[in-house]
Amino acid sequence: MSAISLSRFIITDLTSPSSLPPTPSHIWRFSSTCPSPFSKSPSCPHLSLTKPRKTLVFAKSSEEAELSAAADEWLKKLPEKKQPLYAHSLPCVEAWLRQLGFYQSKDDRAVWFVEKLDWHAQLSLDVTDLYIRYLKSGPGNLEKDVERRFSYALSREDIENAILGGP
């Protein structure tokens, strides 16, 4: 499952041509055998609409693009992998976690989640340590949540290898 942060959704009523989002003309091509994509013509059952349908259209916000650019800048500033994690700034650590596939909790900025094919985990950035909890509710056959703690004195490389190694 992927995370969507700082994005907006537009609900579009597909029965009304005036409510369609502006798109390039090559996207909205319909077969010439069908009279109109908005008609209830039985000659085009794949386009006939008996009741209004709504769909979500993803639209990137300018804030999201700015955050992505900022994260790229912080990734460029990452210290060497052999450096202890305490030598990294918080924005660098956050950019690194995003690069590994983690997404930040909306409720607590110190909590991050990741969903891999074999396991799901929750990572917490504490004052003195980094905690990772592999969740039994995710895929795999864990009997209970498995929690590990890593000191910020460990290198980023060691922590990354241990975390991505899974439970």
The reported pLDDT for the residue numbered 75 is: 83
The candidate with the shortest Cα–Cα distance to 11, out of 54, 67, 74, 59, is 54
Tens digit of each residue's pLDDT (9 = 90 or more) over 104-125: 999 999 999 999 999 999 999 9
Q: How would residue 141 be classed by pLDDT, with cut points 50, 70 and 90?
A: confident
Instruction: For residue 47, count other CB atoms closer than 10 A to its CB.
Output: 17
Write down the domain spans for the chain.
68-165
Residue range 44-64: mean pLDDT, rounded = 49
Query: In terms of pTM, does the model score above 0.75?
Result: no
The reported pLDDT for the residue numbered 65 is: 61
Instruction: For residue 77, count other CB atoms closer than 10 A to its CB.
Output: 11
Tokens of 75: 């990734």
Residue 85 has pLDDT above 50, yes or no: yes
Say how far apart CA 79 and CA 85 lie, in whole Å.
9
Residue range 97-101: mean pLDDT, rounded = 95
Tens digit of each residue's pLDDT (9 = 90 or more) over 6-47: 444 444 444 444 444 444 444 333 334 444 444 444 444 444
The reported pLDDT for the residue numbered 72 is: 79
